[in-house]
Amino acid sequence: MGKALLSQAIHNESERAAGPYISVNCELYGDAALAEEFIGGDRTDSENGRLSRLELAHGGTLFLEKIEYLAVELQSA
């Protein structure tokens, strides 16, 4: 939990503090679910307003907790 608290503190003191702070625990998702969380999945359902975590974090901070659980293919995408 220390890394998450530290990243939140850094965000709060940065020039992006007015933007969102989005935290994703990579251990809680499978590879397909993580890809959908980051990229937004099928873009044809954009009318329902579901944004990817990358879109939600725009102008702020995206913190990836337990990144070692993220597949190598997703790390390099």
Q: Provide, for the chain, the percentages of residues in helix, strand and coil under a 3-state DSSP scheme, each rounded to the nearest 5.
A: 55, 15, 35
What is the predicted pLDDT for the residue at 13?
97
Residues 54-75 pLDDT 10s:
899 999 999 999 988 888 887 7
Query: Is the per-residue pLDDT at 48 higher than 80?
Result: no
Q: Which amino acid is at 17?
A: A
| Domain regions of the chain by residue span | 2-75
Q: Does domain 2-75 have CATH number 3.40.50.300?
A: yes
pLDDT, averaged across the chain: 85
